[in-house]
Amino acid sequence: MAVSGSQPASSLFVRRDIWELEKNEAFDPITLAYAKAVKVMQARAATDPTSWTFQGAIHGAYAAPPPGAGWNQCQHQGWFFLPWHRMYVYYLERIVRAAVKAAGGPADFALPYWNYSKPFPANTLPIGFRTTTLPDGTANPLSLASPKRLQAIMNGGQLSATVTNISIAMGKTSFTTPAPGFGGGKVGPQHFGNFNDSGALELTPHNTIHVALCGQGSLVGQCRGGFMIDPNCAALDPIFWLHHANIDRLWNNWLALGGTRVNPPDSSWKNASFAFYDENGTKVTLTGSQVLDSATQLGYVYDDVASLKMASLPPEDAPEPGGPPELVAATQEPVRLMGGPAAVTISAPDETQELLRTAAAPGPERVLVTIDDIKADINPGVVYAVFLNAPGDDGDRLKYHIGNIALFGIEKMNDADERHDGAPGFQHVFDATEVAGRLAEEGRWDPSAVTVTFEPAEVLPPPGEEDTWDSGESRKKSAAPPIEIGRVSILVA
Amino acid sequence: MDGVLNALAQRLALTLRWRPEWRVAAVVAATWIALAAGLGTHASHTGTHHAALAPIAGLPGWSLMVVAMMVPVTLPAIRHVGMSSMRSRRQRAMAIYTIVYVGVWVLFGITALGTEHLVRVHLGISHTLLLAAVLAVAGAWQLTRAKRRALFACGRTVPLPPLGRRADAGCTRYAVLQGWRCVKSCWAIMLVMVVVGHSSLVWMLALTALVVAEELTVSGRRLTRPAAGALGVAAVAVALGL
């Protein structure tokens, strides 16, 4: 069933790659129309559901909501992350489109997406978002100065390949279980719960992009610091919507890979209902089952994938559920991350060495690395890439990359006055089976000494400008607020 | 037939592997059966003639009641301990956690039973008045920020080292953390049980249902305020002798 007000399937809106749009000019018609619409929305009263402030507050806000307004609703760390954000972007897009059309802009306006996982220049902030003025000389609302965004990003720095790495998420073959699945664990509707239930796509690149755009030392609180790093301010940054359009596109692309990659069949997932506001400011609700196919139900597609026909996907037999993951090795001492690299070497005791050795060999067993009992008072603004037995700088380190720690939303999770559901403890779960298998093939898988390395992801200079590029960053890199990790564990499932 | 039974047995075995806390849950169930059969009721209110020892005499019954009422709310934490432990020491880790957790509640019980005895016997306050008072306190506590925060902190953990004495110490620290958190959340409700005694299965069932719902379910956390009202009404009813 199509959603009321959506485009008929015969004339679908097409969300396009922003770097393709900006190939020839910073302000192509779509980017320029978006900028002008943002300006219009920013001028509206915060109590107007079609205003920029109100729309941002639906995700999160420090201010108290107007009576009856549904603010602070964003769904994270669970299986509602993807459908909720699809609905959210969809209605924002309708509001923007109405403003674009009212201003005489393109009637087929659709939000672009930012595919930062492609090589340079796509892995840098789109130019229209770092140019301070519009062609008419007025201020560009798409451009945010430091500290709202990291200056190195505004100066055209490249995002690290670990931050934009989508291969881990796209390699998942199930939405929910076994953890970590692609889309998140089965939890009830919740604002922020526990990292344990985050899907692989939410962890990377979703969380990592949110944090990397603001960077180390970014103040969190009252929207005086980085916007994207703070759930209460993130949606006020116009790049938020292009980021989430990309996450939404990756959901479509993951489903298109087929096999066991299907949405949850559970009625509790499909029937969960969430409230938003349309272009008329009218409160509307959508359920998960109304947003399963963006083309037929919501009237939009992406420029790189055809409309999905999920019913025709060849389902594979779901694997038989096995036993729970068995702990085979863990650190005895906590680890503290302070902004620089850190490493721990884990030694499996005699009783589990053989199990860990054979788990790395081809077979049904999985090797999991978990980062347990994570504590941080605030988000340090650092994305730590996690590697397993990473070689020196001369190797292809991405082959040993098992995930990232970005802690997006940690302040919300720390809020003692808010309900947080999920398993006990703040934990990241990384599936390291592929990397362990590679290490075994290379003869570098020794259960008595497995090294887990944490490396802060750096913003890199544009190619060819390594010696001349000015990152604009003056903060000392060693001064990041700490992240305490209670234990690093290896499990076999 | 054998094939069906084998399949069922395998499925059960697999389910139990995912629920390493099942032995503790079985102990809780056995405790309820024992309490329903009247075990432990003798000592607490009728067994001793020495007034000073009355609170101590109530401890066995109190301990059974703690196992029946307060251990269910910590089963997710026991599962966390089990799943976070090496297989060779999984049962030991869960046992340490459970014993220390119950120990925290026993310490609370010693204090509460002693205080109740002092107030009832030495100050001469009637059982009815005391019950009405603790019901009112329990209702009021439901509305406090401290109660809500304690409830929301049920997911807090401490690092659990994998081996040796550090592993035991980690389980102990975690049990103390969770035990103290649970005391902060449920002390007022358990004061009601101090006054009514563990022979009252109706009170036990009703209050256990409340704390289990509040602690373990999302919808149950919305019961905090209605429960406050219900406890307040109960306080008035008891005070009026209804």
pLDDT band, very low/low/confident/very high, at A190 (cuts 50, 70, 90): confident
More confident residue, A472 or A297: A297
Query: Are A419 and B162 inside 8 Å of each other by CB?
Result: no
Mean pLDDT for chain B?
A: 90
Nearest CA in chain A to B221: A419
Out of A85-89, A213-217, A484-488, which region has the weakest mean confidence (pLDDT)? Answer: A213-217
Give the pLDDT mean for A391-401. 81
Give the pLDDT mean for A380-389. 95
Nearest CA in chain B to A328: B86
3-class SS string, chain A: CCCCCCCCHHHCEEECEHHHHCCCCCCCHHHHHHHHHHHHHHHCCCCCCCCHHHHHHHHCCCCCCCCCCCCCCCCCCCCCHHHHHHHHHHHHHHHHHHHHHHCCCCCCCCCCECCCCCCCCCCCCCHHHCCCECCCCCECCCCCCCCCCCHHHHCCCECCCCCCCCHHHHCCCCCCCCCCCCCCCCCCCCCCCCHHHCCHHHHHHHHHHHHHCCCCCCCCCCCCCCCCCCCCCHHHCCHHHHHHHHHHHHHHHHHHCCCCCCCCCCHHHHCCEEEEECCCCCEEEEEHHHCCCHHHHHCEEECCECCCCHHHCCCCCCCCCCCCCEEEEECCCCEEECCCCEEEEECCCHHHHHHHHHHCCCCCCCEEEEEEEEECCCCCCCCEEEEECCCCCCCCHHHHEEEEECCCCHHHHHCCCCCCCCCCCCCEEEECHHHHHHHHHCCCCCCCCEEEEEEECCCECCCCCCCCCCCCCCCCHHHCCCEEEEEEEEEEC
Among B88, B145, B162, select the one facing A330 at the smallest CB separation. B162
Query: Are B17 and A420 inside 8 Å of each other by CB?
Result: no
Nearest CA in chain A to B16: A323
Give the closest-approach CA distance of A428 to chain B in angstroms. Answer: 14
Return the percentage of chain A with pLDDT > 90, whole number. Answer: 76
Nearest CA in chain A to B178: A424
pLDDT at residue number B198: 72
pLDDT tens, B124-181?
A: 899 899 999 999 999 999 999 999 999 888 888 999 999 999 999 999 999 999 999 9
- Range(s) within chain A of domains with CATH label 1.10.1280.10: 12-312
- Range(s) within chain A of domains with CATH label 2.60.120: 326-492
Out of A76-85, A415-424, B149-158, which region has the weakest mean confidence (pLDDT)? Answer: A415-424
Q: Count interface pairs A-B at CB distance under 8 A.
A: 85
Q: Which residues of B touch A352 (CB under 8 A)?
A: 86
ipTM of the complex: 0.86
pLDDT band, very low/low/confident/very high, at A309 (cuts 50, 70, 90): very low
Architecture of the domain spanning A12-312: Orthogonal Bundle (1.10)
Architecture of the domain spanning A326-492: Sandwich (2.60)
Query: Are B17 and A324 inside 8 Å of each other by CB?
Result: yes
**Any CB–CB contact under 8 A between B225 and chain A?**
no
**pLDDT tops 80 at residue A273:** yes
**pLDDT tops 50 at residue B204:** yes
**pLDDT tops 60 at residue A316:** no
Nearest CA in chain B to A187: B218
Give the pLDDT mean for B42-68. 71
Among B86, B148, B155, select the one facing A420 at the smallest CB separation. B155
pLDDT at residue number A193: 80
pLDDT tens, A242-263?
A: 999 999 999 999 999 988 899 9
**Any CB–CB contact under 8 A between B83 and chain A?**
yes
pLDDT band, very low/low/confident/very high, at A474 (cuts 50, 70, 90): low
Nearest CA in chain A to B154: A424
pLDDT at residue number A13: 96
pLDDT at residue number A221: 65
Query: Are A330 and B17 inside 8 Å of each other by CB?
Result: no
Q: Which residues of A touch B20 (CB under 8 A)?
A: 324
Among B17, B80, B153, select the one facing A423 at the smallest CB separation. B80
Nearest CA in chain A to B17: A323
Q: Which residues of B touch A423 (CB under 8 A)?
A: 76, 80, 155
**Any CB–CB contact under 8 A between B142 and chain A?**
no
Give the pLDDT mean for B34-62. 68
Query: Are A416 and B153 inside 8 Å of each other by CB?
Result: yes
**pLDDT tops 80 at residue A307:** no
**Any CB–CB contact under 8 A between B77 and chain A?**
yes
More confident residue, A190 or B1: A190
Probe site for chain B from A487, A491, A492 (most B CB atoms < 10 A) = A487
Q: Which residues of B touch A326 (CB under 8 A)?
A: 87
Give the pLDDT mean for B53-67. 85
pLDDT tens, A1-18?
A: 667 666 555 689 999 999
Give the closest-approach CA distance of B49 to chain A in angstroms. Answer: 46
pLDDT tens, A338-353?
A: 999 999 999 999 999 9
pLDDT band, very low/low/confident/very high, at A195 (cuts 50, 70, 90): confident
pLDDT at residue number B51: 57
Give the pLDDT mean for A410-420. 81
Q: Which residues of B touch A417 (CB under 8 A)?
A: 145, 148-149, 152
Out of A4-13, A272-281, A407-416, which region has the weakest mean confidence (pLDDT)? Answer: A4-13
Query: Are B157 and A486 inside 8 Å of each other by CB?
Result: yes
Probe site for chain A from B12, B75, B81, B84 (most A CB atoms < 10 A) = B84
